[in-house]
Amino acid sequence: MDEGGIDYLLSLRAIRERAKIVGDAAQAGKLHHFDYHEHRMDDVADFVTSVIKRDFGPDKYDTIPPHGRWQHFEVGSIPRIANMTQDWKQNGCEDLEITRRLIDLFFVSVLLDAGAGDHWRYVEPGAKQEYERSEGIAVASLHMFNSRVFAAEKSGTTPLVDGKGLEQLEAHTLAEGFQASDSNPMLGVDTRSDLLRSLGTSLLAHSDIFGAEGRPGNLVDYMVNITGESSGLDVLKLWDVLQTLLIPIWPKDRTVVDGRPLGDAWPLSTLQTQETTSATKYASPEYIQPFHKLTQWLTYSLMVPFQRVLGLQWVNADSLTALPEYRNGGLFVDLGALSLKREALDRGLKRPGGELPLFEAGDDVVVEWRAMTLVLIDKLYDMVLSRIDGVHLSMAQLLEAGTWKSGREIAAQRRPSTKSSPILIKSDGTVF
């Protein structure tokens, strides 16, 4: 694979390899926007380890679920997925169809799961419990799924997602499903609906995998069929399918090189190895840092139903990286391993009433922060394991029980009124 080419930048391998270059710059004190305080990594490791031990020690580490969307549906200690699948079984639904339905649900729910903002809340019908952020989006998407909001035919009794239904989705329908209003504002409702409409078009364009109806759940049959007699489902094959499907759906103002869109991949000044003009930098593949965060989040999430319902295992799962989003990244800022340089901080604070720095998602500051998040979680992984003697956790388990949860908890401690990240990102609902 050409390491300067487009296919390379769309690969999982490129995410970690490019971030390592940024990590080397940090070690040399050559980051452009952050100072790296390596001595504070012990504090981060101690904090994350304490959270994991508190929740799963001393003998429940093997019960840590992999990072994925499934857990968010269980907010409020309600086993919504288990209850729903049990109902399906009682109505004669076989495991393959159950898995298809879960893939349908997880597909749309994950792609809707970008930052909702600090003020949005969702009140669950019937239960009247109020939820926010990722869990609120999960519960809202579950109710929309069961109401066939994402299906072309609305009168059916079984939940379904299909390409035509997604293509026809209107922003006001999504806003209604999320209970979004002037008094309950949600970031990026319009761009989320645009994203799902584009997803519908792409699903229909790949009928060889998703069928004539463009159903996400048909991915189950495709993955099982191509696996054959091999030792397990291959994450790398799933990744190729998802990238082919999803790259065309991302907003058109993302990075494009040689006429090909790259999705969640951004120019980064730290990757420059020689003096160039701005125009050259922004057109050159060697200066692009890929993340593909929502696609990785989707990959982690889709793997789980195959394992839990069908009992199938995955190979090459260690190719996936940490997720470079504001909870994982905020952890290192809040605990002092990363700090904004004065110029970047001042620029981020230049807005009326701004108490925290704010940047666009594609700002060089945010791209460097996200790259360092990948580097530091890889480093943290070994540090945490060394503090939990004899216990092995996968990266997916570290993300679930450790860094993501720790990032959320330290944010709530430092900023109890908003629980926001220490660095704010202007979200359009399609990156984080």
pLDDT, tens digit (0-9, with 9 covering 90-100), for 120-147: 999 999 888 999 988 999 999 999 999 9
**What gap in Å lies between CA 94 and CA 67, rounded to an integer?**
26
Grade residue 356 by pLDDT with cuts at 50, 70 and 90. Answer: very high
Per the CB < 8 A criterion, the answer to whether 152 and 200 are in contact is no
- Looking at residue 2, what is its pLDDT? 56
Per mean pLDDT, which range of 278-282, 308-312, 409-413 is the poorest? 278-282
- Looking at residue 283, what is its pLDDT? 43
**pTM (two decimals):** 0.92
Grade residue 426 by pLDDT with cuts at 50, 70 and 90. Answer: confident
Grade residue 252 by pLDDT with cuts at 50, 70 and 90. Answer: confident
- Looking at residue 273, what is its pLDDT? 56
- Looking at residue 428, what is its pLDDT? 67
- Looking at residue 3, what is its pLDDT? 54
Q: What are the start-end ranges of the E strands in 50-106?
A: none
Residue 282 has pLDDT above 60, yes or no: no
Alpha helix locations (H) across 147-249? 163-167, 171-177, 189-205, 207-210, 219-227, 235-246
Per the CB < 8 A criterion, the answer to whether 295 and 277 are in contact is no
**What gap in Å lies between CA 56 and CA 390, rounded to an integer?**
14
Per mean pLDDT, which range of 11-20, 185-194, 360-369, 392-401 is the poorest? 185-194
- Looking at residue 429, what is its pLDDT? 64
- Span 221-236, pLDDT tens digits: 999 999 866 678 999 9
Beta-bridge partners for 264? none
**What gap in Å lies between CA 281 and CA 271, rounded to an integer?**
9
Instruction: Supply φ then ψ for residue 40, to 5 degrees.
Output: -85, -5
Question: Whose CA is closest to 68, among 115, 113, 12?
Answer: 113
Question: Whose CA is closest to 333, among 420, 393, 430?
Answer: 420
Residue 75 has pLDDT above 80, yes or no: yes
- Span 160-201, pLDDT tens digits: 999 999 999 999 999 999 999 999 999 889 999 999 999 999
Residue 4 has pLDDT above 60, yes or no: no
Residue 276 has pLDDT above 50, yes or no: no
Considering the chain, what percentage of its residues have pLDDT values greater than 70? 94
